[in-house]
Structure 1
């Protein structure tokens, strides 16, 4: 039941992110006078549709994306442009031009008639919304919930510890009577206001019996703990720090967004190799890269694990509602940053491909104006339709591969 909550949160978050992304295209297009006949969240069969101010709003069955249909996306072919193939049928580009022009109602403005700058605004609107969502979620996590820092109030006391000699013995803190919820005030007569102070005092004890003052339910308790040398060579007592949450600064939140941006850029730069690795691991049963890519299905599974382990009080999501909420919000922030960066790839039918077409058009028209030559008109982006179909097919194949991998060999928190 708890894992279902996490899945539902992510599904709702993904749908909201998609819906707001498409609004980022729809609103500026309509403000510039361009007709938008359809606003769709999801792909596949329509589950519900409703007209709204000249636009049909559609909810579809497969929540893996969305789109807005904008009238007049493609300009008519220039004189002399070949519009039929060897079979005397319209080319893919010409079919796109005709379909685009048929959707323009009387009195409305075609998208291709917009200045290049406004075309760029319309196409950048979607990714910009995802970036804003990401920034808002990061701010909510770091400025609202706060950053988790180790606390001197113990989350737990271990039953046993592994020693340098290879033995497993009862944890010294457990033997001394320490409990989860105790707040360590001093160790070996050294005040311990921070968790680093506790660790330093344990290390400085070098295995000697130490008086330890703790606060338990508001009452002072004095214990004696003898640390032992652990398997890693350091001195250990078998205690587990709790967590405090303190708001981060605006600068730290900005750094977190920048790190998320650069990290996402790195993942996308390695995307071909990452997809190959996923294909190999899926086919051979080899272990997947824990830092690799995943589908929305994989993200949903992780969200389910976060809420399930958080409710159980164990694992990466332990620590109460703050850590669970922080993990889910961070997951959605990462997803929105991925949508922002990925959609800026300058290939059609991605938003970045349309932006590249607008930039190309703007440069050509500016150069013509500076030279005093005739306006070359809008770019004939319909000629890129074969590339659009190829990129769309590649994206579909990637999506299917990742979903299969996330079902057969999912990435987990552990």
Structure 2
């Protein structure tokens, strides 16, 4: 049964991956057609074609390797300096440029002169190239908001899950009381498991973040209003100063860092609770911020990945994961011993995270990524605006094809990194609990 569920999980992820890719390319396709650019091909996957059908002027199909997708647009690059496709050169760098330019015109037909990608205004080209990653962002936001508002996330509440008997600095790696440890304020005040704290020093509290902040800001006497057995009662506590985990501006615990603050001495109960629209939107913003930080941090992860892949090093939880690793995680999700709704929510969040990664990764201003073409169109717009201001001749379209040698280098780096992640995902995968 475990193997069967794993296979089903991997298959479901493959379907989600194909849909995400198709959704991405649909953004490019729809906007290209909107602006009159001819698109001969719309393909999901790479390699040999498994299925295709021509509708109108576009061939739609699925290829064997579900590792990406593409649409072919006529005239992605402008002609050479002489206005024509340049003759082949013996220079390898020039050859790369001419190969790219030739591919952009190899399906040119009569009447296409006015339907070339490079002839469109820069803002239109930006829209066409941005539309693909934007579709992934829309899908990620829709999935995330849907899960957050219907299912929810594990959230600390103001209900008491347990009471500490003594005061122990959170930096100390022990959970048993010593003879000289002071009694915890919560235990001395009579706080019990199952109590729900509804007010602190007379001020109502409805969430853990508010309660936690007020406890940390208080050293000395405080009135704790709790709801117990359907009735409210006030407990008098004297909060002590203790070394507690540091929190950042978002209220998240900073691992390994501690500060002195007020201490009551109880554990908050955690429940899975749906979020409001505003809370979900804020949490989505945090997810995007974390995603940006993860993309920026990718180069720093390479040594750990190498050690995990070839030196039997530890594979950290925040290690980059490729398609194979994500598929393995998806298979593990279906084997979790949790309610079915938890499995569905976890799988959807995995798909949302994948789409957010596609958006962020494709927005890098590097060829051959979408962000590289966007950067080229924006640079062309700046050049033309500067020429207009200084009354200089129009410099014409920016020849992105001249950056293809750089694109090949970038693609080579990406391929090497992808292979490294693939090896790590196979021999030392990230696992979920």
Fold conserved between structures, TM > 0.5: yes
Counterpart among 30, 34, 41 of residue 33 in structure 2: 30
Correspondence 1:164 to 2:189: no
Aligned to 2:107: 103
Aligned to 2:352: 333
Q: Deviations over 1:1-38 (max 9, x none)?
A: 33333222221111111110011111111111111111
Counterpart among 402, 408, 411 of residue 430 in structure 2: 411
Counterpart among 241, 245, 256 of residue 283 in structure 2: 256
Equivalent residue runs for 1:280-359 within 5 Å: 280-309=307-336, 312=337, 318=338, 320-359=339-378
Q: Deviations over 1:59-106 (max 9, x none)?
A: 111111111111100101124998653469962212222231232322
Residue 103 of structure 1 aligns to a residue whose secondary structure is: coil
CA contact 1:35–1:104 (8 Å) conserved in 2:
no
> What is the distance in 2 between the residues matched to 1:292 and 1:300?
15
How far is the alpha carbon of 1:325 from its aligned partner?
A: 1.7
Q: Deviations over 1:338-395 (max 9, x none)?
A: 1111101111000000000000111111111222222111111111111111222222
Cα separation, partners in 2 of 1:5 and 1:193, compared to 1, 3 Å: farther
Aligned to 1:179: none
Counterpart among 13, 16, 25 of residue 19 in structure 2: 16
Cα separation, partners in 2 of 1:272 and 1:189, compared to 1, 3 Å: closer
Correspondence 1:52 to 2:55: yes
> What is the distance in 2 between the residues matched to 1:8 and 1:403?
18
Q: Deviations over 1:134-175 (max 9, x none)?
A: 11011111112233446999x9xxxxxx98389xxxxxxxxx
Structure 1, unaligned runs of 5 or more: 156-161, 167-186, 201-211, 215-233, 313-317
Residue 91 of structure 1 aligns to a residue whose secondary structure is: helix
Q: RMSD over aligned Cα, in angstroms?
A: 3.4
> What is the distance in 2 between the residues matched to 1:370 and 1:121?
25
Correspondence 1:70 to 2:73: yes
Cα separation, partners in 2 of 1:241 and 1:5, compared to 1, 3 Å: farther
Aligned to 1:113: 119
CA contact 1:42–1:61 (8 Å) conserved in 2:
yes
Correspondence 1:128 to 2:128: no
Cα separation, partners in 2 of 1:369 and 1:412, compared to 1, 3 Å: same
Cα separation, partners in 2 of 1:190 and 1:164, compared to 1, 3 Å: closer
> What is the distance in 2 between the residues matched to 1:114 and 1:323?
47
Q: Deviations over 1:279-308 (max 9, x none)?
A: 122111011121110111111111111220
Number of residue-to-residue matches in the alignment: 346
CA contact 2:10–2:330 (8 Å) conserved in 1:
yes
How far is the alpha carbon of 1:107 from its aligned partner?
A: 2.2
> What is the distance in 2 between the residues matched to 1:35 and 1:332?
31
Q: Deviations over 1:287-333 (max 9, x none)?
A: 11211101111111111112201xx3xxxxx3x22222221111111
CA contact 1:34–1:111 (8 Å) conserved in 2:
yes
Cα separation, partners in 2 of 1:264 and 1:244, compared to 1, 3 Å: closer
Cα separation, partners in 2 of 1:87 and 1:382, compared to 1, 3 Å: closer
